[in-house]
Amino acid sequence: MTDAILTVEQMRAAERAAMAAGTDGWELMQRAGRGAAEWVARIAAGRPVSVLCGPGNNGGDGYVIAETLRRGGLGVEVIAPLAPRTETAQIARDHYAGDVASQAMPRQAITVDCLFGYGLTRAVEGQFAELLEKIAASDCYNIAIDVPSAVESDSGAVLGPLPHYDLTLALGAWKLAHGLMPAMAAMGARRLVPIGIDIPDTGMQFASPPQLRAPSPDAHKYRRGLLAVVAGAMPGAPLLSAEAAMRSGAGYVKLLSECAHPDAPAELVIEQDNFAQAISDERIAAFLVGPGLGRDGAARDRLAAVLERGLPTMIDADALHLFDSAMLAKTDPAKLCVTPHEGELAKLCDSFGVGADCKLDRSRRLHDVTGMTVLAKGPDTILVGDGMTSFFERGSSWLSVAGTGDVLAGIAASRLALHGSPARAANEAVWLHHEAARRAGPAFTAGELAHAVAPAMGVFL
């Protein structure tokens, strides 16, 4: 799988399997280094290159890169504070025909970081930290080989000075850090360099863009899905969600609210009477509950009543603070998707007795314990459901404004009303959310983002 994501141990196991099948470590290193060198040469476009080599196999990749570039006619300088400490890296060093400096300032237009690879677990200090600080202070085009050298691969944690890289070349397979903050913020563009080994299906992947469809020729509003957006104490958030939902594919969006909404569009149906009767409508295909709901007793009652219907439901915002195991026991968790940011994820984990140290582990454990689909949103968005953990490309940083989460929930709920699959709806929503942000440009409001969803739909049709 070219989109599969591996842990450190899974990557090591894949390499061991390749070697057991007859491919030795030096051959794998040559494949990795030469494949990466093709990218470096393309970027360099004749300009000289500095290659920083560490003492391990990532440094060995660096020597292969340097020799490949040297043979291709590029000017190359290699800086290696320590000699190779692995047999394969030493072979690579012996095959490099150029000079190696132990201490130097990278002087070339392109800098290639091969100090440490995906196995780093301790802080980067001393002369290696100094080299990384020099990279960070330079105006070079920086390329990280496999993962940036100050990054722990399985967590994305930063263990030393972290420069900004313009390009990160993953060797053999994607690693967890390629999809996790804070590491992914520094990686720039990411590209995969195959090295000819079998990559297992690990249950983790980068999310694939959706393939949406126009309504069928005989479609009508109920066949496309009636979404009921459940409002509460605060009218603005559910209205934002409804505005986004109206532009995301559902055939009919209805806002169940006791508040006046003088700014609501004419095409949005608002029901203000008899909540119990409104949610019992047999034509409802899905619910969205949480944005603007409030956290009082009335809000709790509304959430419980919605969940007891047993319909596909998106749960967001305030509802995430009210949701508990007693409510879960009265509904079908396979039809639910929760969409927490990190604070809300921590609250859900507390409510359902989930203990975990990081966002990824919390998301996966919460899914395992409850059976719900979990869309843990943020700069690094993680989706757990349908037997797969999916990671997404980083969205626009302009999404860091109030109300954009309500828009995301509205998009997801609209897609859920259309087809009923929580994980599929969540995946579609993230892609549409990111594309809408791109189209909205800089400094948009949540309302402007909601209006940008309709043109974003066209990208995936």
The reply, when asked if residue 441 is annotated as ligand binding, is no
The reply, when asked if residue 146 is annotated as ligand binding, is yes
The reply, when asked if residue 117 is annotated as ligand binding, is yes
The reply, when asked if residue 136 is annotated as ligand binding, is no
Cβ proximity of 291 and 237 under 8 Å: yes
The reply, when asked if residue 61 is annotated as ligand binding, is yes
The reply, when asked if residue 201 is annotated as ligand binding, is no
The reply, when asked if residue 121 is annotated as ligand binding, is yes
The reply, when asked if residue 379 is annotated as ligand binding, is yes
Max CA pair span of the chain:
82
Angle at 291 between CA 286 and CA 294, to 5 degrees: 120
The reply, when asked if residue 405 is annotated as ligand binding, is yes
The reply, when asked if residue 99 is annotated as ligand binding, is no
The reply, when asked if residue 237 is annotated as ligand binding, is yes
C-alpha distances in Å from residue 247, one per residue of 28, 287, 410: 49, 16, 9
The reply, when asked if residue 123 is annotated as ligand binding, is yes
Please report, to the nearest 10 degrees, the dihedral formed by the alpha carbons of residues 395, 398, 404, 409 taken in order. -10
Can you tell me the distance from the alpha carbon of 97 to that of 83, in angstroms, rounded to the nearest whole number? Answer: 15
The reply, when asked if residue 458 is annotated as ligand binding, is no
The reply, when asked if residue 60 is annotated as ligand binding, is yes
The reply, when asked if residue 380 is annotated as ligand binding, is yes
Whether the link from the prior residue into 81 is cis, omega within 30° of 0, is no
Enumerate the β-bridge partners of residue 79: 52, 101
The reply, when asked if residue 221 is annotated as ligand binding, is no
Cβ proximity of 102 and 130 under 8 Å: no
C-alpha distances in Å from residue 446, one per residue of 285, 327, 402, 410: 26, 31, 7, 12
Can you tell me the distance from the alpha carbon of 425 to that of 407, in angstroms, rounded to the nearest whole number? Answer: 14
Q: How many angstroms from the chain centroid is the CA of residue 234?
A: 30
Cβ proximity of 255 and 197 under 8 Å: no
Phi then psi for 269, rounded to 5 degrees? -80, 130
The reply, when asked if residue 122 is annotated as ligand binding, is yes
Cβ proximity of 338 and 323 under 8 Å: yes
Angle at 255 between CA 363 and CA 312, to 5 degrees: 40
For 49-83, letters b (16+ CB in 10 Å) and e give bbbbbbbbbbbbbbbbbbbbbbeeebebbbbbbee
For 427-451, letters b (16+ CB in 10 Å) and e give bbbbbbbbbbbebbeeebebbbbbb
Helices (H) then strands (E): counts for the chain? 16, 19
The reply, when asked if residue 120 is annotated as ligand binding, is yes
Annotated binding site: 57-61, 113, 117-123, 146, 149, 237, 292, 341, 377-381, 405-406
Annotated binding site for AMP: 377-381, 405
Annotated binding site for K(+): 58, 113, 149
Annotated binding site for (6S)-NADPHX: 57-61, 117-123, 146, 237, 292, 341, 406
